[in-house]
Structure 1
């Protein structure tokens, strides 16, 4: 290798080492919390199987406004923010609540759709909420508006830098040899073993880490999200998505301000049943955050295998009019990638084998933190100049 090549390689090694030392513990924390959440849905379904189902009855289920009214007769129940209803007559209704004046939010409840009887709060929900906040925002106050969001984004950019520099640094002389790329030398010990594990297993997980970081940046930086939308969406869709976010409001009419104070779910629920004509498996109806009257709807088709494969609608709670409808089936390939960012981020787009592979890759992150630090310390030790031996003193000196 030429002198210039050695200089470039030394510079890349320095960048790789500094980024690793600065971000080692942070990346390990983010990765481990992501691994914990990999099978959150399956764990939740298992833990709460006893309260997610009811015995079907001949009598019709309660309309959502009636169900909410009965529920809120209970003391200290809080204001309902959304309800999740199902086409399955044996499925319980899941009710989520708005934040209180202190900014806190009580956990959701499963409710019997026929008599509004509370079946129980989902077990494990609080734990996963904390893990998710640690993963996304490091539990820093402000959540998505605080400093935690850009910090995790910077860590993701740092990981991309380490992946690229690491790949260049370990490029073998026999690049076509699969053994050189993928087989660790377990016969080594000490620094040699640490280097082999760090480099070879890093090669195994490099594609997964690239997918994780490139999709994770979507949640950290608005400029990144806008760029992806511009790149993958149709021009009219891109322009609409990059408009400043404002509270959705339907056209104003006489007496509408008074009606807005009485926004409920019934009109939207009736409309969605008519519009979807029994094609949905479940529907989430969310009340407006501000003073508007537009209900946000998420509708999952019966053949949906991913949580992000859903239709998005906006329906006026007063008139029942459909304000907008964004059908998943009508999206282009690029727009479907955008819609499925979360499931791509966690490997769910490949089914449970993909989720398992992404979970294992995330759980391996501490290995690179530990081996990277050990390699750095051993390199420092090797570079330390040896102390010259002290000569023996003779009498008179």
Structure 2
């Protein structure tokens, strides 16, 4: 190797080591919380199987506004912000509530669609909500508006630096040898074994970590998100998505300054059922956070296997007029990639094998933290100059 190549590798080794030491614990925390959430949907559905369904009846289900009115009459639960309705007559209605003045959000409820009887709050919801806030924002106050979002983004950028520098540092002389790349040497011991595990298993998970970090940055930096939207979307779609949005705080302030008319779900539900029939499996109706009458509807088809493959509508809650309809089938490839960022981030776009592979890769992050620290400490011991034994010291030296 030339002197220049040796100097470049030495610099990369220094960068790799420093970044790893600084970010080891933070990346391990982010990765482990991500692994915990890998099968959140399946776990929550299993825990709540007894309250998510009811016995179908011959009487028609209540209209959403009547259901909400009966629910409020039975107990004071706060302002309803969204309901999830289904075309399945045996599916319970899920009711979600707005945040209170302190920013806390009451637990959602599953409700019988025929008589508004409360079936129960979903088990595991609060646990996974806490894990999600830890994963995304490190539980730092402010959530998405606080510093946690930027800190996790910087950690993701640091991981990309470590992945690229690690790949360069371990590039073998026989680059075409699959064995050199992918087979750890368990016959080694001590520092050599740590290096083998760190390098080889790092090669296994490198593509997964790159996908995780490149999609994770979407949730950390607006400039990154806007850049991806500009790159992958049609110009008119990109321009619409990049419009600044009113914050929830500003929306509440505007609502106090100009009281919004009382609106409900019925008109939008009637229009949606008229246009969609029974072609959907479930639909999430969300009331506007501030003044306005547009209800946002996210609708999933019966053949949808991913949470992000959905249609989205805006319907005026007063007139029932469809203001906009954004169908997943009409999106370009780039726009479908944008729509599926979350499922790409967690491997769900590859089905349950992909989610399992991404979960295992995330759970392995502490291995790199431990082996990296052990390698650093052993390297420090090797470089430390040997101290002469006391028996050989000459008085006065």
TM-score band w.r.t. shorter chain:
over 0.9
Q: Describe the shift of the 1:222–1:393 C-alpha distance in structure 2 as closer, same or farther (beyond 3 A).
A: closer
Aligned to 1:262: 262
Q: After superposition, where does 1:29-178 map in structure 2 within 5 Å?
A: 29-178=29-178
Q: What is the distance in 2 between the residues matched to 1:374 and 1:362?
A: 20
Q: What is the distance in 1 between the residues matched to 2:394 and 2:321?
A: 104
Contact 1:247 1:292 in 2 (8 A): no
Q: What is the distance in 2 between the residues matched to 1:219 and 1:258?
A: 32
Q: CA RMSD in A?
A: 1.8
Aligned to 2:326: 326
Q: What is the distance in 2 between the residues matched to 1:102 and 1:239?
A: 34
Q: Describe the shift of the 1:192–1:305 C-alpha distance in structure 2 as closer, same or farther (beyond 3 A).
A: same
Q: Describe the shift of the 1:378–1:68 C-alpha distance in structure 2 as closer, same or farther (beyond 3 A).
A: same
Q: After superposition, where does 1:140-289 map in structure 2 within 5 Å?
A: 140-246=140-246, 260-289=260-289
For residue 236 of structure 1, report the CA deviation from its aligned partner. 0.9
Please give the per-residue CA displacement for 1:298-339, whole angstroms capped at 9, x wherever unaligned: 000111110000001111000001111111000000000000
Contact 1:85 1:94 in 2 (8 A): yes
Please give the per-residue CA displacement for 1:2-29, whole angstroms capped at 9, x wherever unaligned: 1111100000000000000000000000
Q: What is the distance in 1 between the residues matched to 2:158 and 2:396?
A: 61
5+ residue gaps in structure 2? 249-256
3-state SS of 1:163 partner: helix
Q: Describe the shift of the 1:310–1:136 C-alpha distance in structure 2 as closer, same or farther (beyond 3 A).
A: same
Q: What is the distance in 1 between the residues matched to 2:393 and 2:361?
A: 59
Please give the per-residue CA displacement for 1:51-79, whole angstroms capped at 9, x wherever unaligned: 00000000000000000011111333111
Q: What is the distance in 2 between the residues matched to 1:313 and 1:75?
A: 31
Please give the per-residue CA displacement for 1:238-283, whole angstroms capped at 9, x wherever unaligned: 11111122489xxxxxxxx999431100000001111212210000
For residue 391 of structure 1, report the CA deviation from its aligned partner. 4.9
Corresponding residue pairs, total: 389
3-state SS of 1:73 partner: helix
For residue 101 of structure 1, report the CA deviation from its aligned partner. 1.3
Contact 1:259 1:318 in 2 (8 A): no
Aligned to 2:360: 360
Q: Tell me if 1:16 matches 2:16.
A: yes
5+ residue gaps in structure 1? 249-256
The TM-score with structure 2 as length reference comes to 0.95
Contact 1:247 1:290 in 2 (8 A): no
Contact 2:259 2:291 in 1 (8 A): no
3-state SS of 1:284 partner: strand
Q: Describe the shift of the 1:174–1:290 C-alpha distance in structure 2 as closer, same or farther (beyond 3 A).
A: same
Deviates more, 1:26-35 or 1:69-78: 69-78
Q: What is the distance in 1 between the residues matched to 2:64 and 2:243?
A: 32
3-state SS of 1:102 partner: coil
The TM-score with structure 1 as length reference comes to 0.95
Aligned to 2:251: none
Q: Describe the shift of the 1:145–1:313 C-alpha distance in structure 2 as closer, same or farther (beyond 3 A).
A: same
Aligned to 2:379: 379
